[in-house]
Structures are given as C-alpha cells and as structure tokens.
Structure 1
Amino acid sequence: MHRIALFGIDLLAVSVLVFGLYFPRHRRRDLVVAFLGVNVGVLAVAGSLSGSTVSAGLGLGLFGVLSIIRLRSTELDQHEVAYYFSALALGILGPLTDGELWVGPALMGLILLVMYLGDHPRLFPSYRRQVLVLDAAYTDQTALLAQVERVLGARVHAVTVERVDLVNETTVVEVRYSAIGNLVGAGR
C-alpha cells in the first residue's frame, strides 16, 4: 500500500503542477501532454526499477538522456524547462523515496510551492522580455538603446544584439525591460 499511496500522491502533485499552475498561467496545450507523459513515464520506470536488482541509476540515466534529446528538439523557455524538470522530479520522488512515508510527499509539496511562488504573476509583474526586429542597422549602442526605449515606451534594463544586417538595414535584439503605464510589448 505504501508504494500505491506514493504513486497516487505523485499523480495528484503532477496534476496540480500541470492543471493548477502551468496551464492556467501559460496556456501551452502541447506541453501539458509532455509534462504528464514525462512524469508518468519516469514514475513507471523508477517504480519498476526500485523493486528490481537493476540499478535505479541506470533507468534514471536513460531518462536523463531522453530529457536532453527532448530539450534539444524544440525551443523551450526557461520557465518551461523548470516545469519539465519539476515533472521529472515528481515522478522520481514517488517510487524512490526510502524510509518515512512523509518524505516523498513533503518534497513533492516543496517542488509545487517553489513553482507556485517562482512563477507567480505577481512576482516582478512589470518586467518583460521581448525580441524585436528594428528597421535600421544599429551599430552604436547608445543610439540602439534610445530607439528601443522609444519603440517600447519602457525603461530598458538590457539589450542584447542578436543580429545586425547592414544590407537589409535591420537589427534583431533581445530586450529586458520594465513596462511603464500601459503594458506595451506583452512578451515574457
């Protein structure tokens, strides 16, 4: 009964992570199935390996390789990577928790709490990130900063030039800024 209870707690925890935190905040339906699949897959493999003579490290190493392949196959934002690894960790904690019954659920609760607080919309609500394509080739950092602040109508904290095309006269920049007044540029 101990393992079945931990499996149930894991499924409850991943449901809270995906349906209570991630999807309501970010609305990416394609990652819902990824997070659920990763969690249940890791839970199943870790659960079967924890009771066998095969090293659990071997199974977890295989999932590590799979996660690297998954993370390299599509571009994920940093918060999505955090949710991805949280789903992995929840799946590992269920079957591999030794000793006291409360340790696994307590660690699962800690993961959920950290994700809730760290990704809360009220945490730094005016800070934004945006990739802009400007219709001029800027090689002067001061002129670039002034133009980006004019375009966004915001206080710019950092500008990283990704590409300057002198032939087509465009500049691609990643901007980190604070929205002022109305929220111009709703990028994250």
Structure 2
Amino acid sequence: MAQLALFLSDIAAVSLLVFGLYFRRHRRRDLVVAYLGVNVGVLAVASSLSSGGSSTGLGLGMALFGVLSIIRLRSTELDQHEVAYYFSALALGILGALDTGNIWRSTGLMALILVVLFIGDHPRMLSSYHRQIMVLDAALPEQTALVAHLEHTLGARVHAAVVQRVDMVNDTTVVDVRYRVTPGFQAKGGTTAHAEKTAGPANTATAVAVRP
C-alpha cells in the first residue's frame, strides 16, 4: 500500500513537472516524451530491484541509469534548464521507488524538487539578464574596445564576453556576451555596429574579463 502511494505520488509529480512547468514554459514536445520515459523507466527498474532485497543490484541499476543519462545528454543539444528538468524527472522516479518506510519524506522531497524548478525557471527570475552569441562587423581583439562596442550596440551593461573568433581578413568578431538590460543605461563609448545572433560553431575561445 505504501509502495502504491509512492507510485501515485511520482506520477502526479512528474505530470506536474512536465506538463505544468516544462511544456507550458518551453513547448518542446520531444523532451516531454524523454522526461516521462526516463521517470517511469527509473521508477520501474528501481522498484523491481529494491523489492528483491538486492542492494548491490539496486546500486548497479542506478549506475546504469547514470551512464545512460550521460550518453543521452551527450547525444543531443540541451539547454541547461532542460538538463535540470531531465535530472529532476530522474530523481522523482528514484524517490517514487525507494524508502517506502517513510512516505512523507519521499513525497516532501518530490514537492521540494517541484518548488525549486518552479522558482528557478520562472520567467521573472533574473529576467533582465541575457546571453547571446553575436557576430560583430568589426575585428575587435582589444578588451576595452570590445566591451564599449558591445555596450553601445546592445544598450546594456556587459558583464562578461568570451571571444570565440576574430577574423582580421573579413573584419568580424564572434563573441559570447552575457549582459543585463537596465532602463536608462548609457554606454560610455564605442561605435554603432551591426550584430546578429548566430548558431555557428566556435573555433577558438578566449576569455575576456570585464568589470563586474
């Protein structure tokens, strides 16, 4: 009876995680299938191994799912928030299969995972902070000029910039920019330049330290 209650708690928790939080905010259907499959798969295997009383088998089962998770995450491109949802679905499945002697602790931890994801992935959480991969129509290898250029282009305070490629022949710079948009921000200098998002691969990465 306790095991059934935990199973139902897991199904309710993962449904809320996937449909109430993830899909409602990000609308990626293929990961809905992945999250549900991972959760139910972990729940089934962990429950089967734990009911047999084999702690060694349970440990090996968890290690196997850990390896499979790493392979899965390396086989496709996932954003960091999607990785968080992935491992949350995994954790919910494990909590739903183990520790039947303390149902309230397991369900409380499930609730904690949902609350953390709800707050951490809320659209209003740090909403003024952004990240872009930008292509500038100027070769800017020098730190101060690059930061001034970016702040003038974005109209925002640049907190970090990682130069991925500087092309002195075609006069372009590819840079990963972390910045904050604040009303009334005025850049100290720089010239206007055309910039656009790009998904192109990085050739070389050079860290550029800027003022906090």
* TM surpasses 0.5: yes
Residue 28 of structure 1 is matched in structure 2 by 28
Gaps of 5+ in 2: 185-195, 198-212
Residue 180 of structure 1 is matched in structure 2 by 182
Aligned counterparts of 2:94 and 2:59: Cα–Cα separation in 1:
11
Aligned equivalent of 1:86, options 81, 85, 88:
88
Residue 3 of structure 2 is matched in structure 1 by 3
Q: C-alpha root-mean-square deviation of aligned residues, in Å?
A: 1.9
Aligned counterparts of 1:171 and 1:74: Cα–Cα separation in 2:
27
Aligned equivalent of 2:112, options 107, 110, 113:
110
Residue 40 of structure 2 is matched in structure 1 by 40
Residue 49 of structure 1 is matched in structure 2 by 49
Q: 1:53 offset after TM fit, Å?
A: 4.4
Aligned counterparts of 1:11 and 1:94: Cα–Cα separation in 2:
9
Amino acid at match of 1:41: G
Q: 1:151 offset after TM fit, Å?
A: 2.0
Gaps of 5+ in 1: none
Residue 59 of structure 1 is matched in structure 2 by 61
Aligned counterparts of 2:83 and 2:102: Cα–Cα separation in 1:
30
Aligned counterparts of 1:170 and 1:45: Cα–Cα separation in 2:
52
Q: Normalising by the residue count of structure 2, what TM-score does the alignment of the two structures yield?
A: 0.81
Q: 1:85 offset after TM fit, Å?
A: 0.6
In structure 2, relative to structure 1, the CA distance for the partners of 1:78 and 1:87 (3 Å cut) is: same
Aligned equivalent of 2:128, options 126, 129, 137:
126
Aligned counterparts of 1:154 and 1:79: Cα–Cα separation in 2:
24
Residue 159 of structure 1 is matched in structure 2 by 161
Q: In structure 1, the residue corresponding to 2:164 is in which secondary structure?
A: strand
Q: In structure 2, the residue corresponding to 1:102 is in which secondary structure?
A: helix
Q: 1:75 offset after TM fit, Å?
A: 1.8
Residue 17 of structure 2 is matched in structure 1 by 17
Q: 1:91 offset after TM fit, Å?
A: 0.5
Q: In structure 2, the residue corresponding to 1:171 is in which secondary structure?
A: strand
Residue 187 of structure 2 is matched in structure 1 by none
Aligned counterparts of 1:154 and 1:169: Cα–Cα separation in 2:
23
Aligned counterparts of 2:31 and 2:181: Cα–Cα separation in 1:
28
Contact 2:159 2:180 in 1 (8 A): yes
Amino acid at match of 1:119: D
Amino acid at match of 1:37: G
Aligned counterparts of 2:121 and 2:35: Cα–Cα separation in 1:
16
